Amino acid sequence: MTFLLDANIVLRFLRKDVTNHFKIAKEIMSKGQQGKAELYLDELVLAEIIWTSTTFYKETRETISKPLLKLLTQSWIINPRKDLISEAIYYYKDSNFSFIDCWLYTLSKEKNFSLETFDQKLKKLSRQKN
């Protein structure tokens, strides 16, 4: 069985701040760890987790990036673009770009696409890609 994770499940699991929700989120994660389920973590959900963590909870880029990168290394967390997502999170953590900009930059590098944007800073970064 595969579960598609919503941002609120991951947030409650990481934050442990709503007891009854944390228990349910932990049970879901445990099913993954025990091999009873695969847990699909989508890029859009990660963007929501990052936005909520930094905007609503005022977490730093480093604070939210570390557990997300660790979560992505788990074999029971699935997404065919885990490596690409991780790379975008690393760019995000070490820059002042939004996660969405980092995702677009990383994706453009991977696909060898020209990144078209009116954001001059992002355009300049995009032109530097290898």
The 10s digit of each residue's pLDDT in 23-81 is: 999 999 999 999 999 999 999 999 999 999 999 999 999 999 999 999 999 999 999 99
Evaluate whether residue 54 is within a structural domain: yes
Maximum alpha-carbon separation in the chain: 48
pLDDT bracket for residue 129 (50, 70, 90): low
- Structural domain includes residue 16: yes
Alpha-carbon distance of 107 to 75, in angstroms, equals 22
Token pair 């453009």: residue:
108
Asked if the structure places residue 88 within a domain, the reply is: yes
Residue 79 lies in a domain: yes
Looking at the domain assignment, is residue 60 inside a domain? yes
Strand duo 38-40 + 77-78: pairing? parallel
d(CA 35, CA 52): 29
Structural domain that includes position 63? 2-95
pTM (2 d.p.): 0.92
pLDDT tens-digit readout, 83-126: 999 999 999 999 999 999 999 999 999 999 999 999 999 988 88
Q: Is residue 130 pLDDT above 80, yes or no?
A: no
For residue 46, being part of any structural domain is answered with yes
Q: Cα separation of 79 and 86, whole Å?
A: 11
In a domain, 25, yes or no: yes
| CA pair distance 130, 113, nearest whole angstrom | 12
Give φ, ψ of 38 to 5 degrees: -105, 145
Domain count, the chain: 1
Residues 6+ apart with CB under 8 A from 84: 106, 107, 110
Q: What is the pLDDT of residue 127?
A: 81
Is there a domain that residue 21 lies in? Answer: yes
